[in-house]
Amino acid sequence: MPVNGSRPDTPADGPTGTGPPEGWEAPRERWLSTVVRPAFGPRSVLLEVVARLLIPAILTFSVFLLVSGHDRPGGGFAGGLVASMAYVLRYVAGGRHELAAGLPLRPNTLLAVGMLLACGTAGAPLLVGAPVLDAVQYKFTLPVFGEVKLLSALIFETGVFLIVVGLVLSVVAALGARMEAEEQEAREERAGRRPRGGATAGGGGA
Amino acid sequence: MNVLLAVPLVVPLIGAAVTLLLRAAPRAQRITSTLTLAGVVAAAALLVARTADGDVVASQAGGWAAPLGITLVADPLAALLVLVSSVVLLIVLLYAIGQDVGGLSRAMPQVFHPIYLVLTAGVCLSFIAGDLFNLFVGFEIMLTASYTLITQAPTRARVRASMIYTVVSLTSSILFLTGIALVYALTGTVNMADIAEKLGAAPPELRAVLALLFFVVFGIKAAIVPMHFWLPDSYPVAITRISAIFAALLTKVAVYAIIRTQTLLFARDDISAVMLWVAIATMVVGILGALVQDDVNRVMSFALVSHIGFMIFGLALNTVAGLAGVVVYLVHHIVVQATLFLVNGLMRQYVGHTSLRAIRGLTTVSPALALFFFLPALSLAGLPPMSGFIAKVALFEAGLAAGGWLVYTGIAAGVLTSLLTMMAIFRIWTRAFWGTPLPDMVEAKAQLRRGANLGGLRFMTAMTGVMVGLGLVVAAAAGPLAEFSFVAARDLLDGGAYVQAVLGGGAP
Amino acid sequence: MSTPSFILVVTVAVLYSGGFYLLLQRSLMRVVFGILMLGHAANMSLLLTDEAITLPPLLGGASGEMSDPLPHAMALTAIVITFGVTTFLLALAYRVWLGDENDEVPDDVEDRRIRRLTEPEDSS
């Protein structure tokens, strides 16, 4: 793949000719799943390789935190934060499209599903006359894992997990990609001295 | 009774999730939110029925016993406020739906519905929270939703206003958190019933300082006078439905929190003199501000500030009659304030703005609008047949019964404020409603007629009419309301039933 | 157990005073930093309520003693809230900057108008 990482508006650091050429650290192989346009600066082979290697591990760890959360440190919130860090890493290394490629659902949908899960679990005990947030637990033995304790609170925690991931991703989407586009727009507007109609929610393609 | 207490909290959140999923289907979104709020109204009505004879209903979330777990409590006051709030929320939602259907708003409905429902959950949680920290969480849910709502249809002015609003609210939230930390350090609990029992042993100076801290925290959010400056800068800038809900509910939630903390947690006489002074200042300064404004929305915002003073006055009296007056006043003011802001919104639809400098002869443009403005405005000023009159008389009578020169000063300030409110209202009336309409107003109305928006506009007008009707109902139902308010006030002053329901009953 | 460490108390004091100082600045960015610092201050004062804060919560140390878990839970909730609101505040500050190319809090237009009412009317 040709070197295409350098962005037109990247400021030239130092006089030309003295430093290494622009985009020298861009990888030649494909490490991430889309055409990469990083969020900040030029492409970096180090970042992409590390992202590729680390993301599965981070996601696995986040699930571990989620399930171990009931009586040990962890839980939905911590797990969700860790999982969203994986996606933030992916965004930093690969840009907006890379982030979108890695997501099964849109951030808002994630939020909604998470809220449904959490509130559904919180409200479900009401149907049988128990107070809100009441929890049930089942214990059973699985061949490999030994004794397993399954709590209805886990569903609640999964909801929290999804809410956190959805929230962080919408923050990344709103503060990262869309703002870049808006900033560009506003700058052009000011340059063109058009009358300002107020910086409304525009966004769209970068 | 578990179900009744949890419905106002859980159902709106589920509704919010569903509407978020349904962003692509506006019709389904509207139906979902309407049904959700209707459900909350029904549950709240049942709650009011249950607490009508002074019972306090409590529920422990997750089955953890009282001082440890999350407690939801509804005493008569909380139940009544949940009911009134949810009814107002429902009507304003229908108004907003009419506006959206008619294509008259620039707000994004797919964002509006979920956040509006989250706001509902926050408001309800604030009313029924049984511990200080949940009160904080309820406030935060409500405020976070409101931060987003105030920037609906963002213009530069709205972003500015939202910045002010957010920073001020956050500051008070952080003070709130500090207060919680201090109370926890002092008593080792955040459960309000538990604190009520344990704070009695604390040194009175410390208690007074804490009472003042909480008064300041909620005072910022209720916009009482030294801390009111942010409200007229932010509320009028938001779109109509939002400012209506903010004006009607958010400040009242804060007033409720003041009532709850000052009656239940702190020894009552500690800061009542301070509260009286603040109440007097709030009434007078607020209404003087309203008199010099040129924008109807800003006039109403200053009037809102001023009338918060009445509630603080009633609370400071610290008698059953005073608190009962506050309860009536809360109900009256929620309804009337929401109505007035909805009318302002209709005005904005007809004329395109709400500045008094360029409105004449609205009576000719829309007689219904004139009527809808006139009735709640008279109620706000406190003229005899209306609910405002009943509420004010209840407060003044309580004041006369309590006695003391400061209280008499407060009553004088209240009468003065009512007169000045009348003046502010007649200023709007003579400027905006009388006379011959300006040519561009006639033009604007003709244009509105030409667009195919009439159905939506009619629906909005109808909903405003329903709100006006609700105000009249409050006046007509003054007898039962007064009875209920005395029950609520007795529960508030006594506090025993509340503590008993939370701690004594344990997990049901 | 020992009382909360002196350093923690000093930190809380510095955070509060610094936070309020920044809050009163004109630049919105500083205001946001001020809010952040105040949030930290409040969270740390929550932790100050427990004398045994150096011990782990719930599980306890070797001796089986543990710190009170409730302040931790409350601080965590508060952190979540501050986190969410701060991102929103940042987005807002950014929006303001986008519109005006500066992030100063302006004078209130209405206030200026009212001030003009008190001046002699020679300009109009």
Inter-chain CB proximity B144 and C88 less than 8 Å? yes
Closest to C84 (Cβ–Cβ): which among A167, A183, A199?
A167
Closest to A199 (Cβ–Cβ): which among C84, C90, C99?
C99
Give the residue from C56, C68, C48 showing the smallest Cα distance to B181. C48
For residue C112, the tally of other CB atoms under 10 A from its CB is 10
> How high is the pLDDT of residue B440?
76
Chain C residues with CB within 8 Å of chain A CB: 76, 80, 84, 87, 90-91, 94-95, 98-99, 101
H helix intervals, B352-453: 362-365, 367-381, 387-402, 405-428, 439-450
First-to-last CA distance in chain C? 72
Write down the domain spans for chain C.
Answer: 6-118
Q: Does C51 touch chain B (CB under 8 A)?
A: no
Residue A179 lies in a domain: yes
Return the top range by mean pLDDT from A29-38, A141-150, A196-205, B55-64.
Answer: B55-64
ipTM: 0.87
Confidence of residue A1 (pLDDT cuts 50, 70, 90): very low
pLDDT at B64 over 90: no
Confidence of residue B121 (pLDDT cuts 50, 70, 90): very high
Q: Name the 3-class secondary structure at B60.
A: strand
Inter-chain CB proximity C49 and B181 less than 8 Å? yes
Contacts of B249 (CB under 8 A, 6+ apart): B85, B88, B89, B123, B334, B338
Min mean pLDDT across B20-34, B434-448, B468-482 is at B434-448
Q: B10 or A70: whose pLDDT is higher?
A: B10
Q: Check: CB of residue A167 under 8 Å from CB of residue C83.
A: no
Q: Which domain holds residue A159?
A: 45-186
- Residues facing A147 on adjacent strands: A141
Q: Which of residues 94-123 of C touch B (CB under 8 A)?
A: 95-96, 99-100, 105-106, 108, 110, 114, 117
For residue A194, the tally of other CB atoms under 10 A from its CB is 9
Inter-chain CB proximity C101 and A171 less than 8 Å? no
- Chain C neighbours (≥3 Cβ pairs under 8 A) are A, B
pLDDT at A5 over 50: no
Contacts of B119 (CB under 8 A, 6+ apart): B141, B142, B145, B146, B149, B245
pLDDT at C60 over 60: no
Contacts of B17 (CB under 8 A, 6+ apart): A111, A112, A113, A114, A115, A116, A119, B114
Q: Find, in chain B, the residue whose alpha carbon is nearest to that of A136.
A: B62
Q: Find, in chain B, the residue whose alpha carbon is nearest to that of A121.
A: B10
* Amino acid at site A1: M
Confidence of residue A199 (pLDDT cuts 50, 70, 90): very low
CA–CA min distance C63, chain B (Å): 23
Min mean pLDDT across B104-108, B300-304, B316-320, B429-433 is at B104-108
Cα separation, A172 vs A89, whole angstroms: 11
> How high is the pLDDT of residue C121?
58
Rounded to an integer, the average pLDDT of B219-247 is: 88
How many Cβ contacts (< 8 angstroms) between chains A and B? 80
Closest to B14 (Cβ–Cβ): which among A120, A196, A199?
A120
pLDDT at A4 over 50: no
pLDDT at B402 over 70: yes
Inter-chain CB proximity A167 and C101 less than 8 Å? no
Contacts of C51 (CB under 8 A, 6+ apart): C1, C2, C3, C4
A111 contacts in B (CB within 8 Å)? 17, 20
A171 contacts in C (CB within 8 Å)? 87
Q: Does A60 touch chain B (CB under 8 A)?
A: no
Rounded to an integer, the average pLDDT of A139-164 is: 80
Confidence of residue B507 (pLDDT cuts 50, 70, 90): very low
Q: Check: CB of residue B380 under 8 Å from CB of residue B286.
A: no
How many Cβ contacts (< 8 angstroms) between chains B and C? 87
Helix B405-428 and helix B367-381: axis angle, to 10°? 170
Q: Find, in chain C, the residue whose alpha carbon is nearest to that of A199.
A: C99
Q: Does B173 touch chain C (CB under 8 A)?
A: yes
A134 contacts in B (CB within 8 Å)? 61-63
Strand boundaries in chain A, DSSP class E:
137-142, 146-151
How many Cβ contacts (< 8 angstroms) between chains A and C? 21
How far is the CA of B295 from the CAs of B223, B233, B356, C74, in angstroms? 19, 12, 6, 43
Q: Does B151 touch chain C (CB under 8 A)?
A: yes
Does domain C6-118 bear CATH number 1.10.287.3510?
Answer: yes
> How high is the pLDDT of residue B492?
86
> Domains in chain A: how many in total?
1
Closest to A131 (Cβ–Cβ): which among B11, B18, B59?
B59
Sign of the Cα torsion B160, B163, B165, B171 reads negative
Confidence of residue A201 (pLDDT cuts 50, 70, 90): very low
Q: B12 or A28: whose pLDDT is higher?
A: B12
| Tokens 């309804």, residue located | B335
> How high is the pLDDT of residue B188?
83
CA–CA min distance A114, chain B (Å): 8
Q: Does B159 touch chain C (CB under 8 A)?
A: yes
H helix intervals, B52-75: none
> Domains in chain B: how many in total?
1
Rounded to an integer, the average pLDDT of C54-74 is: 71
> How high is the pLDDT of residue B117?
94
How far is the CA of B163 from the CAs of B157, B242, B244, C23, in angstroms? 10, 16, 19, 12
Q: Which two tokens stand for residue B401?
A: 């019964």
Q: Which domain holds residue B432?
A: 2-504
Closest to A198 (Cβ–Cβ): which among B6, B61, B156?
B156
Q: A11 or A73: whose pLDDT is higher?
A: A73
Sign of the Cα torsion B281, B283, B286, B287 reads negative
Q: Check: CB of residue B81 under 8 Å from CB of residue B8.
A: no
Mean pLDDT score across all residues of chain B: 87
